[in-house]
């Protein structure tokens, strides 16, 4: 069972440019969330997509936008890049989960848990 995948792995851009990051969710998942993790910090929630619509949004400017496709994959777009946008961008998927969940039985709770991809490292010069 493939986990969450993200592309590209690394990306270098210059200030003012635009970037698109891609995410494919875990098989059976229908919800995708995006997080920004600056160096030495915890991840910060950007937004979440479900049924091709933005469901929740964190405190990020409109330069950050996204899209979800019918196959549940998602893109994160950032316009007019700033130096401060340099970070690890993490995608997480959740929702209906078909398959084994090693923590489901142990925790006694729902399997509707966010599973993270390896991230895309964006450097803005």
Partner 1 sequence: AQSVTQLGSHVSVSEGALVLLRCNYSSSVPPYLFWYVQYPNQGLQLLLKYTSAATLVKGINGFEAEFKKSETSFHLTKPSAHMSDAAEYFCAVSFAPGEKLTFGTGTRLTIIP
Of positions 7, 18, 56, 123, contacts partner 1 by CB under 8 A:
56
Give the C-alpha separation, 93 to 121, whole Å: 18
Q: Give least dist CB 59 to partner 1, A.
A: 11
Q: Give least dist CB 43 to partner 1, A.
A: 5
Length of the chain (residues) = 125
Please report, for residues 4, 12, 55, the alpha-carbon distance to residue 27 in angstroms, rounded to integers and kept in the order given.
Answer: 8, 29, 20
Of positions 17, 18, 100, 107, contacts partner 1 by CB under 8 A:
107
Question: Is 14:124 a contact under the CB 8 Å cutoff?
Answer: yes
Give residues in contact with partner 1 (CB under 8 A). 4, 6, 31, 33, 35, 40-45, 48, 56, 58, 90, 92, 94-95, 102-103, 106-119
């Amino acid at each position: 069972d493939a986990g969450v995948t993200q592309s590209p792995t690394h990306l270098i851009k210059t200030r003012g440019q635009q970037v698109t990051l891609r995410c494919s969710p875990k098989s059976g998942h229908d919800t995708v969330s995006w997080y920004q993790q600056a160096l030495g910090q915890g991840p910060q929630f950007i937004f979440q997509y479900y049924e091709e619509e933005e469901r929740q949004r964190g405190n990020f400017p409109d330069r950050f936008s996204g899209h979800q496709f019918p196959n549940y994959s998602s893109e994160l777009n950032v316009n007019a890049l700033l130096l401060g946008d340099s970070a690890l961008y993490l995608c997480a998927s959740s929702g209906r989960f078909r398959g084994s969940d090693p923590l489901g039985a142990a925790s006694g709770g729902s399997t509707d848990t966010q599973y993270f991809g390896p991230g895309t490292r964006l450097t803005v010069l």
